[in-house]
Structure 1
Amino acid sequence: MKHAVLLLLLLASQAAAQPSAASVAKVDAADMGIALARKKTYPGSELKVLQNLKAGSNYSRQVVAYQSEGLSIHALLTVPNGTPPKGGWPAIVFNHGYIPPEVYRTTERYVAYQDAFARAGFVTLKSDYRGHGDSQGEALGGYYAPGYTTDVMNALGSLKRDKRVNAARIGMWGHSMGGFLTLRAMVIDPSIKAGVIWGGVVANYDDLMNRWPHKAPASIPRRVLNLRKTAVEKYGTPAGNPRFWNALSANSYLKDVGGPVQLHIGSADEEVPPAFHATLARQLKAAGQSVQSYVYPGDNHNLSRNLRTALDRSVAFFKNNL
């Protein structure tokens, strides 16, 4: 009897650790609609300090947590040393690209990138996103489920609540998938003053599905990959049902972007087609938006050969626009 009880407890704990089929079934591509996202509120919460880290050259570093749809999301916060300027420090929501959620760590990756902005006098907040590292929730990717967008918006809301931050001087930086999230955030909330996107997945859904010759990483679970298949089965393809898919795409709402955008990409980017970058630059100009476009010949997805130049340009852009 004792062994049977132990077995039942073990099975129950294993089941609890696995994402339920029901949680995935509730995800609907229609939830990605920009109009729907604008109707939601993103209050965030007070940033709760979980761990004090070794300080940077002129700023503090902390692992913090904030609330997003009832989930505790971890993030890396940097705050400049000294007395904030009148109105508070300018701030940047920092949106990282795809990293397998099970190996993601709050304090790893993008260290040099975030450091560049922190040293320049910006508060920065790099959200883990739900299901990454020790953050609660299920990691369902950014393209066919709204969770990551919601987490980014609540990171923004959390910074706006922080008395050290000037709520009228907040921008966003995004790389790869984080660029997709940054563009979505900027059309959802025009109060975002400026955005910088590196190697961004910034195309509409027709291009994402048909002109992105990118093999999905083996680390992406089948249940996440199936979200696209399920969406197409229910709503048809972007070519067959453009009204539906365009309503989900930030590219359809570029006139609503509330500030200038700076774009960077390597011409030899092996993850994201440079054509995505070029098309977005043209679309932003056509929408009457201010846009700067930088293409680095022969460089890769991380702009490794031109990292310092790209960071300097990004820092200068935020200094001029926040």
Structure 2
Amino acid sequence: MLRWLVGFLWVSSLGLSQTLTIDQLSRQHYGGGTLSVERVLERTQGFTRYLVRYPSQGLRMYGFMNVPNGAGRFPVIILIHGYVNPSTYRTLTYTTRYADHLARSGFVVLHPNLRGHGLSEGQPEGSPWRILYAQEILDLAAIVRAQAGRGALEKALPRIGLMGHSMGGGVAQRVAVVDNQIRAVLLYSSMHGDDLKNAQQICYVFTNGARGCEEARNPPPNLAQISPIYHYHRLRAQVQVHHGTRDAQTPHAWAEEICTALRRNRVPHRCFSYPGAGHTFRGQDYALLMQRAVAFFRAALN
């Protein structure tokens, strides 16, 4: 009882109204409402980019969707962006190039703007656990499955993969251990699956003591119930991990630890190291990442 009370008080002190544990998240209902097109943003030879809107947790969420121009229906990839200062974030951000490549390769790509970013309502999440961000993606995945084949998603198939960079990789891990219908997860320079390590990195490395320090120094007693890495046994998705050996933001050792945990839990996976690459890939590293990503999603989602 005392441990439960300590955990409850810790959660209350953060001002979080949502449940935190993986088990509690898995018992919530997701989806409801529809994804709609606001306007066309761009027409290219291979795909059309739309500004889209969908509901989540009582908020209006926005993002863009790339839809291949060819006939037929296509699997869906939800691309989750990493940390960008919300005050400078724009709908078309650094991850646009990944979305465009995947759309030209035959996937409907949804790039949601997380709460408080761009046009999306709500406040950016301050908690290092990113629970609210994960709920938004869980809502979006449920809407895609329910609406696939009609309306704005008429070209979409109800087969979904996730690609997350940095913070987005941490969100993707939480989503995938909660939603067992996610079929493929690609982690690119990802945050750890252990939320304490993320909080410590945020406090001591990213912000020089400005954020995440209370969580880093006083973690909740039920941290193992919160952190995705302790729930990889729930994964029904195939996983790929891509990480540069000179990543100064999310250490390459984290990828090795994630891959060890995936192997221990017998999750189908492949792990790729990129010698000399940093947090965001360029040149040949980027080309190889996208070549592997397209092959991975084609095999897992088709």
TM-score norm. by structure 1 comes to 0.82
Separation in structure 1 between the aligned mates of residue 177 and residue 271 of structure 2, nearest angstrom: 19
Q: CA offset at residue 143 of structure 1?
A: 2.4
Q: CA offset at residue 111 of structure 1?
A: 1.9
1:137 aligns with 2:128: no
Alignment CA distance shift 1:270-1:214 (3 Å): farther
- Contact 2:77–2:110 (Cα < 8 Å) also in 1: yes
After superposition, residues 1-322 of structure 1 pair within 5 angstroms as: 26-27=15-16, 31-84=19-72, 88-141=73-126, 143-160=128-145, 161-163=147-149, 164=154, 165-167=156-158, 169-210=159-200, 215-217=205-207, 225=211, 229=214, 231=215, 236-237=218-219, 241=221, 244-305=222-283, 306-322=285-301
Q: CA offset at residue 210 of structure 1?
A: 4.5
Separation in structure 1 between the aligned mates of residue 202 and residue 124 of structure 2, nearest angstrom: 22
- Contact 2:128–2:198 (Cα < 8 Å) also in 1: no
Alignment CA distance shift 1:159-1:217 (3 Å): farther
**Stretches of structure 2 lacking an aligned partner (at least 5 in a row):** 1-11
How big is the alpha-carbon RMSD for the aligned residues of Structure 1 and Structure 2? 2.3
Alignment CA distance shift 1:199-1:145 (3 Å): closer
Q: CA offset at residue 271 of structure 1?
A: 0.5
Alignment CA distance shift 1:198-1:129 (3 Å): same
Deviations 1:67-99 (A, max 9, x none): 001100001101111332xxx420101101001
Q: Secondary structure at the match of 1:187?
A: helix
Q: CA offset at residue 145 of structure 1?
A: 4.7
Separation in structure 2 between the aligned mates of residue 315 and residue 259 of structure 1, nearest angstrom: 16
Separation in structure 2 between the aligned mates of residue 101 and residue 94 of structure 1, nearest angstrom: 18
Q: CA offset at residue 214 of structure 1?
A: 5.4
Alignment CA distance shift 1:70-1:212 (3 Å): closer
The one-letter amino acid paired with 1:292 is R
- Contact 1:265–1:294 (Cα < 8 Å) also in 2: yes
Separation in structure 2 between the aligned mates of residue 246 and residue 313 of structure 1, nearest angstrom: 32
Separation in structure 2 between the aligned mates of residue 211 and residue 138 of structure 1, nearest angstrom: 22
Q: CA offset at residue 166 of structure 1?
A: 1.7
Deviations 1:175-211 (A, max 9, x none): 0000001111110011000110100002313433456
Separation in structure 2 between the aligned mates of residue 93 and residue 24 of structure 1, nearest angstrom: 32
- Contact 1:174–1:180 (Cα < 8 Å) also in 2: yes
**Mean alpha-carbon deviation: is it higher for 254-263 or for 136-145?**
136-145
Q: CA offset at residue 212 of structure 1?
A: 7.1
* Percent sequence identity over aligned pairs: 27
Deviations 1:206-242 (A, max 9, x none): 4334567853358x9x6xx36x62x578xx436xx3x
**Stretches of structure 1 lacking an aligned partner (at least 5 in a row):** 1-22
Q: Secondary structure at the match of 1:298?
A: coil
- Contact 2:130–2:171 (Cα < 8 Å) also in 1: no
Separation in structure 2 between the aligned mates of residue 66 and residue 24 of structure 1, nearest angstrom: 30
Alignment CA distance shift 1:106-1:210 (3 Å): closer
- Contact 1:265–1:303 (Cα < 8 Å) also in 2: no
- Contact 1:97–1:178 (Cα < 8 Å) also in 2: yes
Alignment CA distance shift 1:27-1:213 (3 Å): closer
TM-score norm. by structure 2 comes to 0.87
Q: Secondary structure at the match of 2:117?
A: coil
- Contact 1:214–1:272 (Cα < 8 Å) also in 2: no
- Contact 1:46–1:162 (Cα < 8 Å) also in 2: no
Separation in structure 1 between the aligned mates of residue 189 and residue 127 of structure 2, nearest angstrom: 15
